[in-house]
Structure 1
Amino acid sequence: MIEDNNISSAWIRTLKHIIECPGNEITPLVVSLTEFNESPAFRVALDSDLKKNDKAKVHTVAETIFPESLYVLNGYDRHKLYKGFLEILPRIKKIDASSNARGTYFERLIAFDGGPKGKINQLENIITSLQDRVIKRRSKLQASIFDPSKDHTEGAYQRFPCLQHVTFYMTPNGKLILNSFYAVQYLYERAYGNWLGLINLGKFVAHEIGTELERFTCFIGVEKLDKLTKSEGQNLLDLMAEKANL
């Protein structure tokens, strides 16, 4: 269990725990964040290391969960965001056809394949429910990413979707909590961007209902060190200490 008010610090603590303990996984891991501070110098240093290893930058990973830049571009209008995202979705899938063949995270949130019911905008259902402020059934405040009809495959290696599920909760003081669930998460390549993207998603929902995001909690079945050895992980920590003063 890692509880912090800084995304950068939480990521570093997770990496340190894996390095100091046997194996290269944490099973399970719970990360709970408030205030959502971040070290810009840390982000620059991590992005530089990711680029060196031909991995996506933190911002790129975060945008797969919530396309904040598109939200800003559309004047913080969520309906324009939905429409604009679905319009460019074919291009997004074409850019990385191997990863996006079964869909994208934000697509599953706003256009989940409901079979005979058609496409379901799970986020809009949650937002309109929260706007009422009288939640008769809290189980309604959840959205699925994993789709058994598409994702139960026999492939030996499947990267999407690692994020399975998100739920929302309104506290007695009217603030918002976002919970997320991962079967497997890749610490080096994805975790920081995942957490940032989910926090941005929570802030989006909070903004749309006129409140603030109070806490983000991520439940992970298996947190993997993925592409790094422990010695490489320690070298990365040393680099962060030097460049980001962490």
Structure 2
Amino acid sequence: MHTFTVAERDVTRAWVAACNKLDHKDNPGRTGLHTVVRIADPTSDDAAFRAELDRLRTARGLWPLETVASTLFPTALAARCAGPEDLTERYRRMYPVLKRYPGNERGTYFGRLVSYPAASKTAIDQLGTVISRLRTQAAGTKIAAAYEIDMAAATDTEQGHGSELLTHAAGKDNGYIGFPCLSHISLQLDRDRRVHAAALYRSHYMFERAYGNYLGLGRLLAYIARQAELACGTLTVVAGHARLDGPITQLRPLLTGTSRLAA
């Protein structure tokens, strides 16, 4: 079993460290199980590095990293909203249209936050609930760990291989592969009024999704903290199965910092 734990100060360094941990001669599949990536400041990354990575991704026909990040947190929309309630209302109005886009048929991650498909058929606004609970607890007893967000739901059914066990779910989940690979987000409040997040992925593709996911999760965490009048803490991402996909020969110069990528 190949596994690793890395801890870095920003998104770029954390992603590079994780990829390099997977790219070893004794790991020909470039895969890992139960990998852990901890990012001290998940709101920060190297813009020049991101541009280089995006250039290679575009050449491979992949979405820009900003698009990947927006599936977890729609930064532009949030900037135009008065607060979490307004953001939830606007996103819910947009959601049916967003689901028509290729790859979104079963929803988006942020859609699961603000319109969770509960068994009662009444969609749940998890985002607003978490922010309210954090704000209340920060002003009172400061319970550290009682702030959970689920992504997987009973409507997720797809044929495939593998299995998973969810430790916190609002519904019954039968999906094996595909959306949602992100299963759960757990938030913790520390004594210094900082909010930390731990995200659990059943599968994580490092080139195709991970960098954009780190960005989106960091922005989501920062928004939750800001709306609860708290400080943004660390982001920890656990992947049940991680894989360094993509054009490895072209990726290595970027991972080692020896030269620019060649498209």
* Correspondence for 1:56: 63
Which residue identity is paired with 1:50? Answer: R
Secondary structure, in 3 states, of the residue corresponding to 2:100?
helix
1:41–1:243 Cα contact (<8 Å) kept: no
Residue 135 of structure 1: CA displacement?
A: 5.5
The superposition leaves residues 127-185 of structure 1 with CA deviations (integer Å, 9 ceiling, x where unpaired) of 111111235866641011011x2224324684311100001110011111011000000
Secondary structure, in 3 states, of the residue corresponding to 1:31?
strand
2:235 aligned to which of 216, 220, 224: 216
- Are residues 182 and 167 of structure 1, via their aligned partners in 2, closer, same or farther at CA, if it must alter by over 3 Å? same
Structure 2 runs not aligned, ≥5 long: 162-175
* Correspondence for 1:67: 74
* Correspondence for 2:117: 113
Which residue identity is paired with 1:95? Answer: Y
* Correspondence for 2:97: 91
- Are residues 38 and 135 of structure 1, via their aligned partners in 2, closer, same or farther at CA, if it must alter by over 3 Å? same
Residue 235 of structure 1: CA displacement?
A: 4.8
Identity %: 26
- Are residues 234 and 221 of structure 1, via their aligned partners in 2, closer, same or farther at CA, if it must alter by over 3 Å? same
Query: Of the two structures, which has the highest relative contact order with CA contacts closer than 8 Å and spacing of 6 or more?
Result: 1
1:19–1:233 Cα contact (<8 Å) kept: no
1:188–1:227 Cα contact (<8 Å) kept: yes
1:1-246 equivalences in 2 (<5 Å): 1-20=5-24, 21-22=26-27, 23-36=29-42, 37-75=44-82, 77-96=83-102, 99-116=103-120, 118-132=122-136, 133=138, 134=140, 140-147=146-153, 149-155=154-160, 158-228=177-247, 230-237=248-255, 241-243=258-260
Give TM-score scaled by structure 2 length. 0.84
The superposition leaves residues 81-137 of structure 1 with CA deviations (integer Å, 9 ceiling, x where unpaired) of 1111111112211122xx222211111111111222611111111111111123586
Work out the CA distance in 2 between the residues paired with 1:242 and 1:188: 18
Give TM-score scaled by structure 1 length. 0.89
Residue 11 of structure 1: CA displacement?
A: 1.1
Structure 1 runs not aligned, ≥5 long: none
1:65–1:201 Cα contact (<8 Å) kept: yes
**Structure that is richer in helix per residue:** 1
Work out the CA distance in 2 between the residues paired with 1:178 and 1:211: 13
Secondary structure, in 3 states, of the residue corresponding to 1:101?
coil
